[in-house]
Amino acid sequence: MKQNTKLNYKVNIERIGTLMYSMISCEMFFEFSVLCSYVVTVILSTLLTVNNRGANHLILRRLGVKEWRFWMSNYVFVFLPNLIQLELAAIIWHYTGILPFSGVTLDFAMFIHFLLAVLLSAINVFLSALMRN
């Protein structure tokens, strides 16, 4: 690092010994499960979008379906599972006391997850449009 960036960086490993025996708050485990849930949602919706983009797009184009109808149906096809999963997660996490979601109202948590489903579906459809088979 010193040769490539001409920066001096010192690592202090003395603190690791004190952190080894400290207790980790159980809320961090729940936050990690929330993060894992979001990652699984992103991966599954990306796979769903790309899978629908492949042979289905070619067949529907040959049948004369307009491009915008295909993309809108692909968006709805990805948006509905994302919406259901994220809204159920917001309800479950709110009532089980997971910290980011139990500190806000249920309506706000569901609204944020609705926006997340809209954004995630739009990004996935856009990325599948960029990918060529």
In a domain, 11, yes or no: no
Residue pLDDT tens, the chain, 133 long: 455 555 566 666 666 666 666 666 665 667 777 778 888 888 888 888 877 776 777 777 778 878 788 788 888 888 998 999 889 988 888 888 776 777 778 888 889 899 999 999 888 888 877 775 4
In a domain, 32, yes or no: yes
| Secondary structure tally for the chain: helices H, strands E | 7, 0
Say if residue 114 is exposed, middle or buried (CB neighbours under 10 Å; 0-12, 13-18, 19+).
middle
Measured distance CA(36)–CA(41) in Å, rounded? 9
> How many domains are there within the chain?
1
The pLDDT of residue 1 is: 46
Model pTM greater than 0.75? Answer: no
85-95: pLDDT as tens digits: 889 988 888 88
In a domain, 20, yes or no: no
In a domain, 1, yes or no: no
Q: Which domain holds residue 34?
A: 25-130
Which DSSP string do the residues of the chain spell out, in sequence order? -HHHH--------HHHHHHHTSPPPHHHHHHHHHHHHHHHHHHHHHHHHHHHHSHHHHHHHHTT--HHHHHHHHHHHHHHHHHHHHHHHHHHHHHHT-HHHHTS-HHHHHHHHHHHHHHHHHHHHHHHHH---
In a domain, 14, yes or no: no
Structure tokens at 24: 């980790």
129: nearest Cα among 82, 64, 78: 78
44-71: pLDDT as tens digits: 888 888 777 767 777 777 788 787 887 8
